[in-house]
Structures are given as structure tokens and as C-alpha cells.
Amino acid sequence: MTTPLRQVWARLGGDPAGPDRLAVTGPPAVLRSTFAVTDAGVAAVGASLLAATDHPVGLDTRALAVALRSERYVLRGGASLGAPFDPLSAFHRTADGWLRLHANYPWHRAAALRVLGCTEAQVPAAVAERAGVELEAAVHAAGGVAAAVRTQERWREETGAPPPLVEQRVVGDAPPRPVRRPRVLDLTRVIAGPVATRTLALHGADVLRLDAPDRPEMPLQAADTLPGKRSALLDLADAARREELLAGADVVVTGYRPGALDAFGLAPEALAQRHPGLVVVTLSAWGERGAWGGRRGFDSLVQAACGIAADEGTAEAPGALPAQALDHTTGYLGAAAALLALAAQRREGGTRHVRLSLVGTAAWLQGLPRGGAADVPDVDPTPHLQEIDDLTLAAPPGTVDGSPLRWPRPAPSFGTAAPTWR
């Protein structure tokens, strides 16, 4: 029987016998959804565990349910660091259907309000006067983020075949690099990319995350996705420091929309010329092809545009997956792909590029068998949380040789590290 895990593992190019090393325990469904979210999570997290070690690994689905919603459980000193979503980040009725806005970052929020020409309290009425597709285009053109709700059929008619779940290619010649503790340059934000690099740090990589000095991260996102990493501030226009970091890296992970970092020489082909032997992992919302390739995007917007929200909702209103499952599963798949590509580089050489997208993950999820899970009880998160100094976080899911994985101390701190390798 081809399970989602075996399907994913084969697409990643893993050893066919690898999935035999994973023992899965717990209920078969732990997240209430029309879609096979638990199976997808097992496949993605299981692949990351298998790629990280040759030892037997385990995964409890209850721990998985907590990990896939890790941002919900973050506390500092026992107090919440805020809600994961801004009040405007919601479904809004349009003149011809529904629109999903994303306003978690202040610059995206400001763009939406400029387009609508109203106050926050007036947003529902302003949205209701406009057509969804017209409004999503206007918000995007203004530097914001929005997506009209579509059915899967309409989405495919507009955009064609979705990108593959994972794409892997060699973009340049290079000799195999020596085996050492991997250095990962983390140029990602929000969830998918940071989950990928958080997972690499968990499995022993030296991960250095860089953020622009004028783009502060939300405290909740920083606390949730920085464990095990060092976080520094750097303007990528500082070519000398940027190239020094690239020269010392083994893996570069980017999570911005396609082309956004090309001006800094961070396209995979450009990196292959200047720094042969790197593993380059690019994660995006919409993939790199077609009219949507250059757009900003987030998990909730991909759900809205590609048909998941329509299928997860009712006749009265669209719905959402029980977790930011596209983000989290793409992140774990990205970590697995990076680890396998790194191993291949050390065996065979080459500059290797791995490409994933939220919309590719969405299409894969939509293609998995749907059984429905209306009676799935909520998981008690308490046994699956970890205290790190004054932080409460979702513990990393999985075991190796029967021992549970744990986040290392100290607690993460945004922007306080020097932008250098150890």
C-alpha cells in the first residue's frame, strides 16, 4: 500500500526502505477536517525525521497535532504574546462572493486600508461593494495581500496545472564538500520557511536567520520559530557581509516571493556561479510560474484561492483548515529535502536547488483520499509542550531511538546575534 509518507519519500528521492524505520502511534485522525490533514502531517514530519538520521524514529499523532498548530501555544511568563491573526485577517463578503485578507504585518494592513479607503470598522462594508478578483488585484498592486475565494475547478481553469510537491535539480558543477556540522543561512519569514530552518536546527545545523533592520518580526512568530537558531539583523545590500556569510554557508533557505531577492544575487543560478556546492532551498506561496508567481501569499490565502476554503466551509461561508497545515507541512518537507540534498552533495557534488510552494502542497493535499473527520476530539496539548526559560512552546514532534526531541536552550531572541558564523 502506498501511504502518503511513502509517496512523499519517493518524491524526495529517499531510500525506499526508509519509511520502515518510522513507528507511528496515536489516533489515525487528530485534526478535524474534510482533508487528510493528519496523514499529510505524518508524511511531512516523518520525512524530516527519516532524512535527519539512519536510526529508528517515532511520531505520535497527538504531538503532531500540537506541532502543526505550534503558534497557538506560545506563552512568555505564562502570558500570551498575541493572537496569530489580526482582526482584519479574515473572510469578508464581496459583491460576488468572498475575499480573504491578510493584515498581520502593519505594512500589509496599511495597504489594504489604502485600497479600501476606509477605517478598520468600515472594512466589511467597503469590501462588500467590490468584486473579489478585482479587489485582490488592487490590494496586491498596492503592496498588500488578499485572495478571492474560488472552487478548485475555477482555480485550475485560471492557473492550469499546479507545480509539483517538490522540485529538485542540479544548477551547477561543484566537487563534494567535506562533512561537517551544516551551516544554514535562513532568509525566511512567517511559518513555512522558519519551520524548515527550525527543523534543521533541531537536527544539529548551525542556523543563522537574517532579517532586515526595518522589518521587525511579530513577537509571537519570533518565539515560535526561532528555537535552536541565532537571529541577526542585516541589510542584504551590505554586499561584503552578505558574501562572507554565503561563502561560509552549506545551505541557503529563502522564503520570499520569487525574484524578490534576485537583486542581491540570491537566485539559485547566481549562487551556483559565486558559491558552487551550496544547497539552495526556495519556498514560496504560489510557485514560480504564471501570473501568480510574483505575488505575495500566505497559507490562509492559498487555501482561499485554490479551493480548500470552499470545500472546508459550508453553503453560508468558506472555512479553513484546522491548522496552518500548508505552511507547516511545506516547512517539514523543505527540511527533509534540504537534508537529503545536502547528503547527495557530499556524496556526488553539484550545486543543488530544491523548490517547494504552498500551492504545490495544497494540490497534493487535495489529491489525498478524503474521509472526513467530524467527530475528532481536540488533543490535550499539555503533555506536548516544553518550557524553555520563560517560554512555553510546542515541543518538537518525534523521537529518535525512543528518545523525545527537545528544543535546546537558551530561549530564542530576535535580532540579538552577530551576523557571523561561529
Put the strands of the sheet holding 98-101 in their side by side order: 91-93, 98-101, 146-148
Mean pLDDT for each consecutive 10-residue tract of the chain (422 residues)? 91 96 96 96 98 98 98 95 89 97 92 96 96 96 96 96 96 97 96 97 97 89 95 96 98 92 94 98 92 90 97 92 97 98 98 97 96 82 96 98 94 93 92
* C-alpha atoms less than 13 angstroms from C-alpha of 22 in its C-beta half-sphere: 27
Q: What is the pLDDT of residue 190?
A: 86
- What structural domains and CATH numbers belong to the chain? 1-82+163-421 (3.40.50.10540), 87-161 (no CATH)
In the chain, the largest separation of any two C-alpha atoms, in whole Å, equals 61
Return mean pLDDT, the chain: 95
For residue 285, the model assigns a pLDDT of 95
pTM given for the model: 0.96
pLDDT for 372: 67
Q: What is the pLDDT of residue 299?
A: 96
pLDDT in tens, 325-375: 999 999 999 999 999 999 999 999 999 999 999 999 999 999 999 876 668
Q: What is the dihedral of CA 216, 222, 223, 224, to 10 degrees?
A: 150
* Residue 26: count of CB within 10 angstroms of its CB: 16
Q: Kindly state the cell numbers that stand for 270.
A: 547566481
Q: Alpha-carbon distance 375 to 130, whole Å?
A: 38
